[in-house]
A = this chain, B = another copy of it.
C-alpha cells in the first residue's frame, strides 16, 4: 500500500535479509555474485531486493572496503575542443572500466586546481588525472604523489619528473608542419599563438629545428605568441600581416588559433590555401570542416584521452610497475590550407 506514496526510510541489506529469511552476510555475498551462495537462495535474495526496491549503497561498501570507484579528472580549458575530445576519450575508458568520473575544470586557476585536488583526496578518489594549470610548480606534483593515490599527468609535461604521463610529441609535430611549409618554398614562416609554458617551448623547438635543418635563419619577429584561442589566433594573424605583409605561411600553436587566423584572413579577403599557407595542431573534429578545411598536425585527441586513461588504469592495477609515458606520434594531415 505504501509502495510509492510514502518516501519511507532507505532499504538496506538488513531489510532484504529479513524479507528473504537469510542473514545480511548472505545478502552481501549474493549482491557481489559470490559463488558461495546456493542458486535458489541467491534467487530468493534477488527477488526480495527487487521487491523492496533495494539500492546498493556504494559509499557504505567502500568505507568498509576502503575502496572507491571514482576517478578525478582535472581539465583546464574545456572551451578548447581539443580538451573536450580528450575528456570524452578519458571518460569512456574510465566508465568502461567500471569507474565514475569526478570532473573538475580549473580554467587555468592555481587556486581552483588546489581546491579540487584537495576535494578529490577527501572523496578518497581511486585515481587522479591532471592536466596541470600553467605555471604549476613541478614540486607540486610530488606533493600530489605523496598522497598515494594513483596519479597521471596528461598533455602538459612539467619537465623530467617521476610520474606517469600521456601527451603528444609536440616538437616532432611542429617540426613536420614547419618542414612542410619550407618544402613548399616558403622562406618566411610565422608561428602563431601559444602561452608561455612547456608545450609552447616544445612546439617552438620543433619550429626552430625545422628552420635550421633547411638553413633558414630564425627570425623572432615572426613568432607571435597569443592566448591560444580563436581571438588570439585572429589577433596574432593580424599582427603578423600588418608588420610583415610579405609573409605567406605560418604554423599555429593549435587548431583553434588556426581557426582565428582563418577568420582574420577572411576579413582581408584572403583565402588560406590560395593566398596564405596555414597549418594547425591537434586535428580536432572541427578542422575537417573549417572554411577552408584545415591542414593540421594530427595527434588524435580522442585516442590520446583513451591512452591517458589507460596509463592511469594500468597504474591502479599495477601500483609497482615502472613509470609510463605515452606520446602520441603526430602525423601531418593535408587538407586545403597548406
Contacts and interface: CB of A to CB of B under 8 A. Distances in A.
A59 B265 contact: no
A259 to B, nearest CB: 6
Nearest to A229: B285
B288 A148 contact: no
Contacts of A104: 91, 95, 100-101
B288 A266 contact: no
Contacts of A92: 105, 107
A245 interface: no
A152 to B, nearest CB: 18
A79 interface: yes
Copy number in the complex reads 2
B285 A263 contact: no
Contacts of A84: 78-79, 81, 84
Main secondary structure of the interface of A (DSSP, over half): helix
Contacts of A73: 103
Contacts of A87: 78, 105
Interface in A64-87: 66, 68, 70, 73, 78-79, 81, 84-85, 87
Interface string A23-66: 00000000000000000000000000000000111111011001
Interface string A82-125: 00110110011001000011111101000010011001111110
A290 B259 contact: yes
B79 A85 contact: yes
A233 interface: yes
Given A78-B87, A95-B116, A57 B234 contact: no
B79 A91 contact: no
Contacts of A206: none
B292 A123 contact: no
A234 B293 CA distance: 11
Contacts of A116: 95, 100
A230 interface: yes
8 contacts: A55-B122, A55-B147, A59-B124, A70-B123, A73-B103, A87-B105, A229-B285, A265-B291
8 tightest CB-CB pairs across the interface, nearest first? A103-B103, A230-B289, A266-B291, A263-B289, A58-B122, A291-B291, A84-B84, A263-B291
